[in-house]
Structure 1
């Protein structure tokens, strides 16, 4: 006698595999075949799933469920035409089966026809008494279409049906975040928590929303409740530590980061945050200890290398800082932040040629920050390469047009390079944009402040500015 579906699943699978090995023919109920197919599909054993469907349809040729599973495999293999023909056959037998519309929607989705998939799923919704899966599929289709508002509503329906479905809850919050509706997310999560006061996931998400809005006391309370709900929730301890850091409560932050290490294998992020906290407290030996562990745990974590470099730079131990940033560059020479940091250290060591090279690498790798152009131009000017300094400043102005700081530097460098006409034009433009920054020009280029035409230009534009 065939086994009841789901009663002894392992026995059904063992019996089926025994049949394949011996070439004997055993009889199974259609439900048993469905169970066997689901087992193989869930475990990625597509060929065995196909074999089970083939034998199942030989024994139960009228089984719509097995045919729908065959459609699912055909769609998985991108055999859309064959899948559609089989769906037509099934629809002629039972047009009210919502799975037909779901499978058609799956095919449309794989063809990037997401609106058509949505329309089919809405049809399925009218035919089913179990709407959860369809709302979830609708939510995903809306996400594919970047329609975060409708996606949010679909995932909210899932949570209404099953408030323990945390995957949908996460998706709801994700949609709120993408829509930048943080107030809406907070209201939604608070309402959810009225019904589920011990849901650690919801408290955790609520804390993250408060944190993103710089509402640190509220975030701390939410993470406290997350920990109360589940005292092994590592993510809540970590986020709580971040809030305590923001509040300047570094010793308490350390306790929370240490909790994450106690509960699970330590992560480079936990070591990094511990190092930062100890550095803030002036515990420099402990800060070094944790920074070393950060880069040892994850040599590819750029924040770790930058932290240990910054630590030694802050201690004015430039040789040590250079040692670590060079180790980082040896691991990942394509990271512009490493080269930018190296340039800063070379500048501090008065190794200007190396600083020039490092800034060039920084820009070549795509770092176009204001400070990069400004500092690179300063290095070239100190070297005495005024022409190159001018070129760098002009490149910087392409990214930051009408930036008074760069214009004043450019005017002074033109003067250094004896480009009198360009200097007059540039200085005039800089003063018209921001006259107050003239003081920085005087401090950086004091030798030019007493030139008659400079004084006359200052007087003329200064009176206009007033």
Structure 2
């Protein structure tokens, strides 16, 4: 790729400056050359070189306003705001119409969290600048700092009206739309932007993301297609396109897309995992398992990879292998309630009731308050003969799920099992009134209670 004339000049200046440092010879640079050299070192984080260049620059051009403004920028970067402000005031007295003075003053206000003052200073800069896009973008950022997303969005749009190729402003506009949950408005804006700049792969990519967010997966894939046609190495667009194809159940096409990402860059555990899922949905069990194992080989600490293998074996009803892999996932993320729930279900399928009870308990302790968790946990405690603990769990669940017949019937059965007929009758009546049809829960889970004549009479009384 050919360098522009300005880039070639800048590279020559940098080479000349670095040669001077190595040889201790003093070369002459004009003030603009020095500005470019200093700003280059600041942009690349080489602050010591930036300071050396600034010192030499001011020695050669002690009256240069441009260099003094670069000095202000360096001082602001180092949080020496009071010194920077004093220098700016001196410069203002000399050049009150220099927009850079107002821009640097805005940077000082921004660093002090005085964003309103920063915006006022930038609005003054607009009166003197030729580079409206840059100033509009800076105002947009100040509004972002103030969490005024609507105002920020309007200024980033103004920036793009001035400079349609400012992609950082485009990303910021879309960020504002996303934050404000304005997906449809974002789509309308991006479509109008693309009308003006049809070969902007970033805009097509962002349009695809917005269509995906509103669940229009066909249009999402269409937009990502354009992004990849414009830039055939656009890794992110291929990934997002693959996700859209999965939603459309076009699994082989999704696999092809994920494979392209792996050709463009090293295989990621995410892509390998998704390919495995796609193969499983296509019924290609052998390939699915192969890619799941590739996933955990690529990233042994990716718990989602181990869980994918766990779920694979659960679906195959190979619970012994599923138990091995769920333990791997729990070893990585022992605070995940969903992993403990799987651990419980697998152990229950293997008749390991104590381990199953532990799994449901751990799932609850890590935030799982779903009704079925309470029910299954109580079932395991009942199998283990821990009726009182099961009652405690179900009473606790009633606070979260009042008037839930599944809980009432189970409480009734358990109270009868521990000989508390009064409470047993109370909860049985509750269950019958809430949902008579499902009184078979007593028959299924508490056959000894079901066979009691008093129970049958009570049920008969509530029969509609």
Q: TM-score, normalised by structure 2?
A: 0.87
Q: Which residue of 2 aligns with 1:169?
A: 170
2:240 & 2:32 partners in 1: Cα distance? 47
* CA apart distance, 1:24: 4.7
Q: Which residue of 2 aligns with 1:235?
A: 236
SS at match of 1:95: coil
Shift in alpha-carbon separation, 1:283–1:22, aligned structure 2, 3 A: closer
* CA apart distance, 1:317: 0.6
1:427 & 1:107 partners in 2: Cα distance? 72
The answer to whether residue 32 in structure 2 is matched with residue 41 in structure 1 is no
Q: Which residue of 2 aligns with 1:214?
A: 215
* CA apart distance, 1:309: 0.7
Superposed CA RMSD: 3.1
Q: Which residue of 2 aligns with 1:310?
A: 311
Q: Which residue of 2 aligns with 1:345?
A: 346
The answer to whether residue 322 in structure 2 is matched with residue 325 in structure 1 is no
SS at match of 1:384: coil
Of 22-31 and 177-186, the range deviating more from structure 2:
22-31
Q: Which residue of 2 aligns with 1:159?
A: 160
* Residue-by-residue CA offset, 1:414-436 (whole Å, 9 max, x unaligned): 4444455555665666677x547
2:131 & 2:425 partners in 1: Cα distance? 77
* CA apart distance, 1:291: 0.7
Shift in alpha-carbon separation, 1:312–1:47, aligned structure 2, 3 A: same
1:116 & 1:422 partners in 2: Cα distance? 69
SS at match of 1:8: helix
- Please say if residues 5 and 35 of structure 1, whose CA atoms lie closer than 8 Å, have aligned partners that are also in contact: no
* Residue-by-residue CA offset, 1:227-247 (whole Å, 9 max, x unaligned): 333333333333222222222
Shift in alpha-carbon separation, 1:147–1:300, aligned structure 2, 3 A: farther
1:154 & 1:13 partners in 2: Cα distance? 35
- Please say if residues 20 and 27 of structure 2, whose CA atoms lie closer than 8 Å, have aligned partners that are also in contact: yes
Of 186-195 and 446-455, the range deviating more from structure 2:
446-455
- Please say if residues 336 and 362 of structure 1, whose CA atoms lie closer than 8 Å, have aligned partners that are also in contact: yes
Shift in alpha-carbon separation, 1:151–1:59, aligned structure 2, 3 A: same
- Please say if residues 409 and 439 of structure 2, whose CA atoms lie closer than 8 Å, have aligned partners that are also in contact: no
Q: Which residue of 2 aligns with 1:244?
A: 245
Of 42-51 and 379-388, the range deviating more from structure 2:
379-388
Between the two proteins, the alignment pairs up a number of residues equal to: 458
Q: Which residue of 1 aligns with 2:98?
A: 97
* CA apart distance, 1:288: 0.3
Q: Which residue of 1 aligns with 2:203?
A: 202
- Please say if residues 405 and 437 of structure 1, whose CA atoms lie closer than 8 Å, have aligned partners that are also in contact: no
1:6 & 1:247 partners in 2: Cα distance? 47
* CA apart distance, 1:18: 4.6
Shift in alpha-carbon separation, 1:70–1:411, aligned structure 2, 3 A: farther
* CA apart distance, 1:176: 1.4
2:118 & 2:206 partners in 1: Cα distance? 30
- Please say if residues 5 and 31 of structure 1, whose CA atoms lie closer than 8 Å, have aligned partners that are also in contact: no
Of 356-365 and 76-85, the range deviating more from structure 2:
356-365
Q: Which residue of 2 aligns with 1:384?
A: 385
SS at match of 1:282: coil
SS at match of 2:127: helix
2:402 & 2:93 partners in 1: Cα distance? 67
* CA apart distance, 1:374: 3.8
* Residue-by-residue CA offset, 1:150-179 (whole Å, 9 max, x unaligned): 121122122222222222222222221221
1:148 & 1:345 partners in 2: Cα distance? 48
Shift in alpha-carbon separation, 1:199–1:23, aligned structure 2, 3 A: closer
* Residue-by-residue CA offset, 1:77-133 (whole Å, 9 max, x unaligned): 222222222222222222222222322322333333333333332332233221212
Q: Which residue of 2 aligns with 1:68?
A: 69
Of 181-190 and 282-291, the range deviating more from structure 2:
181-190
1:174 & 1:428 partners in 2: Cα distance? 55
Shift in alpha-carbon separation, 1:327–1:7, aligned structure 2, 3 A: closer
Shift in alpha-carbon separation, 1:413–1:180, aligned structure 2, 3 A: farther
The answer to whether residue 55 in structure 2 is matched with residue 80 in structure 1 is no
Shift in alpha-carbon separation, 1:376–1:45, aligned structure 2, 3 A: same
- Please say if residues 432 and 439 of structure 2, whose CA atoms lie closer than 8 Å, have aligned partners that are also in contact: no
2:61 & 2:456 partners in 1: Cα distance? 97
- Please say if residues 413 and 446 of structure 2, whose CA atoms lie closer than 8 Å, have aligned partners that are also in contact: no
* CA apart distance, 1:387: 2.9
- Please say if residues 296 and 306 of structure 2, whose CA atoms lie closer than 8 Å, have aligned partners that are also in contact: yes
SS at match of 1:127: coil
Structure 2 residue runs without a partner (length 5+): none
Q: Which residue of 2 aligns with 1:52?
A: 53
1:411 & 1:77 partners in 2: Cα distance? 71
Of 396-405 and 246-255, the range deviating more from structure 2:
396-405
- Please say if residues 273 and 305 of structure 2, whose CA atoms lie closer than 8 Å, have aligned partners that are also in contact: yes
2:41 & 2:189 partners in 1: Cα distance? 39
1:430 & 1:91 partners in 2: Cα distance? 82
Q: Which residue of 2 aligns with 1:295?
A: 296
- Please say if residues 432 and 459 of structure 2, whose CA atoms lie closer than 8 Å, have aligned partners that are also in contact: no
Shift in alpha-carbon separation, 1:208–1:16, aligned structure 2, 3 A: closer
1:15 & 1:25 partners in 2: Cα distance? 10
Q: Which residue of 2 aligns with 1:193?
A: 194
